[in-house]
Amino acid sequence: MESQPNNPLHGVTLKHILNTLVNRYGWEYLGYNISIRCFTHDPSVASSLKFLRRTPWARKKVEEFYIDMLEKQR
């Protein structure tokens, strides 16, 4: 597989992204910023992963939020 030095998501799993965001911001903040039900109603990593893997638009929002977090850390 080719190297992707400019892709911040290369080699990062969805589970890692979600765990990082939950640990940093918490479910309430995530639900406020990314309005999807799996973050606002009885959230868990397992149920959120299941939903995000089946819902491309929601996964894209979570990945974009993660990239924004990385950029703010720099």
Torsion over CA: 5, 50, 28, 24 (sign): negative
Do 45 and 39 meet the contact criterion of CB atoms below 8 Å apart?
no
**pLDDT for the residue 10:** 87
pLDDT tens for residues 1-31? 456 767 889 889 999 999 999 999 999 999 9
Give me 34's structure tokens.
Answer: 């990314």
Q: Is the pLDDT of residue 37 over 50?
A: yes
pTM over 0.85: yes
Q: What is the CATH number of domain 14-73?
A: 1.10.720.30
Confidence of residue 52 (pLDDT cuts 50, 70, 90): very high
Q: Per-domain residue ranges for the chain?
A: 14-73
CA-to-CA dists, residue 41 to 3, 30, 72, angstroms: 38, 12, 28
Backbone angles phi, psi at 68, to 5 degrees: -60, -40
